[in-house]
Amino acid sequence: MSSSDKWPCAALRDADLSARTTMRVGGTAEWLLEPADPEELREAWLAARARGLEPRMLGGGANLIVEGGRFPGAVISTARMRRIFRPGHEGEEGLPSAQVAPLERERDPRLVAWCGATLPALVRAATKLGWSGIEGLVGVPGTLGGGIAMNAGGRWGDLWDVVQSVRVLAPDGELRDLERADCRPAYRNGNLGENVLVGAVLGFAVEKPADVQARADEYLTEKNRVQPVSERSSGCIFKNPDPELSAGRSAGKLIDDCGGKRLTRGAARVSPLHGNFIVNTGTATAADVLTLIEDLRDLVAQRTGLRLETEVRIWRLPEPAPRPAAPRAGAGGAP
């Protein structure tokens, strides 16, 4: 792998993508750009566009399955954009929990985070301060950017529950602030469209830190009981279907009821703990995982008539450009 200074930020050539996803499968990116702050992110994005490349955004890779092969063009990673701070304290170092005086804790329970801030770091910071609203995401991997783009969440709440406003890089290349009311997030869909999430202001409810911590501990215990938390996976593969169509059965329950937990492809297998998780038991390839996803979809469709929709994002290689047709003998053209 080599780097280049022609980009306006740190850049790696032929960067491994599998190590940057929690499923640990997939190929490489021709360019991996690593901006360190919102302005660098904007410049990297503009530089890629100026070269005719449509950049792909990569957060924590927790909800992403990358096909094998080499992805031409540029992937922008938010791994260096992890800052979390309080409104008005952007220049200060350190996590906010160390800095908040008791009165201020009650007066202004808000955090600002950049897109690469990890969800575990955000949950930790808010919980320590006794700020409630995000503890339901305890144990969820990934970053703010991916979490807001897909409205990560579950039984104990969704990330958008605490979002007050977002800063996005709009398709015209400008940074814009959008209020929550302008965004209309839905189930597992942040509804950002073509906008790239750069950062967000999160607002919480003030409680006793011990109470918030106790809830976070309880949720984490439950999560560890029913999900393969420590294994390589992409979290839930499918969205839960409309409960009216599935008689209230979640995707995991449907797969379980249909016998899907027995399915494997190579070293990819459906988790015996939770039917909506595929785990990479060691040497699974992207093809193993993607084929197993289709096996599960087919199985549930055959048995129930329901077509499950993927929650995970899948990066597929672009189709090779069609080769120009060979000129026919005798046809007019170059001599």
Chain positions contacting ligand EPU, by CB under 6 A: 154-156, 226, 235-236, 239-240, 250-253, 256, 274-276, 311
Q: What share of the chain is helix, strand, coil (3-state, %, to 5)?
A: 30, 25, 45
CA–CA dist 170, 321 (Å, integer): 29
Contact criterion met (CB below 8 Å) for 113 and 83? yes
Active site (annotated) includes residue 188: yes
- Of 236, 286, 235, 284, nearest to 264 by C-alpha is 284
Q: Which residue is nearest to ligand EPU (CB)?
A: 154
Which residue number, 53 or 229, has a Cβ lying nearer to ligand EPU? 229
Which residue number, 276 or 285, has a Cβ lying nearer to ligand EPU? 276
CB 223 to ligand EPU: min, Å: 6
CB 62 to ligand EPU: min, Å: 8
Q: DSSP letters of 285-324?
A: -HHHHHHHHHHHHHHHHHHHS----B-SEEE-PPPPPPPP
Which residue number, 182 or 217, has a Cβ lying nearer to ligand EPU? 217
CA–CA dist 223, 137 (Å, integer): 10
CB 287 to ligand EPU: min, Å: 22
Q: Measured on CA atoms in the order 93, 94, 97, 102, is the torsion positive or negative?
A: negative
At 139, is the secondary structure helix, strand, or coil?
A: coil
Which residue number, 11 or 152, has a Cβ lying nearer to ligand EPU? 152
At 275, is the secondary structure helix, strand, or coil?
A: coil
CB 64 to ligand EPU: min, Å: 11
Residue 61: strand pairing partners? none
Which token pair is 316? 């597929």
Q: DSSP letters of 178-212?
A: EEHHHH--BTTB---TTPEEEEEEEE-EE--HHHH
CA–CA dist 31, 53 (Å, integer): 11
- Among residues 188, 265, 269, 297, the one annotated as catalytic is 188
CA–CA dist 259, 254 (Å, integer): 9
Active site residues: 188
